[in-house]
């Protein structure tokens, strides 16, 4: 019984470590999504500025 309890405890500890790793990965992914979103907004702003400039030259 002691060996089984020890093995179960070890498995639980391993699962806890995996949960922490998954949680950390989720945080990193959320930060990456925020960065991508900010970059997309910046590109949109630059694109609108360029289109506006080109429009001024056409007229």
pLDDT computed for residue 26 by the predictor: 99
Q: Look up the pTM and report it.
A: 0.68
pLDDT computed for residue 47 by the predictor: 97
pLDDT computed for residue 59 by the predictor: 63
CA nearest 12: which of 20, 26, 33? 20
pLDDT computed for residue 58 by the predictor: 75
* pLDDT tens sequence across 10-44: 999 999 999 999 999 999 999 999 999 999 999 99
pLDDT computed for residue 4 by the predictor: 95
């Amino acid at each position: 019984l002691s060996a089984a309890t020890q093995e179960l405890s070890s498995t639980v500890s391993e699962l806890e470590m995996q949960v922490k790793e998954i949680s950390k990965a989720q945080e990193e992914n959320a930060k990456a999504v925020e960065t991508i979103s900010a970059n997309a907004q910046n590109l949109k702003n630059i694109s609108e500025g360029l289109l506006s400039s080109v429009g001024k030259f056409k007229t």
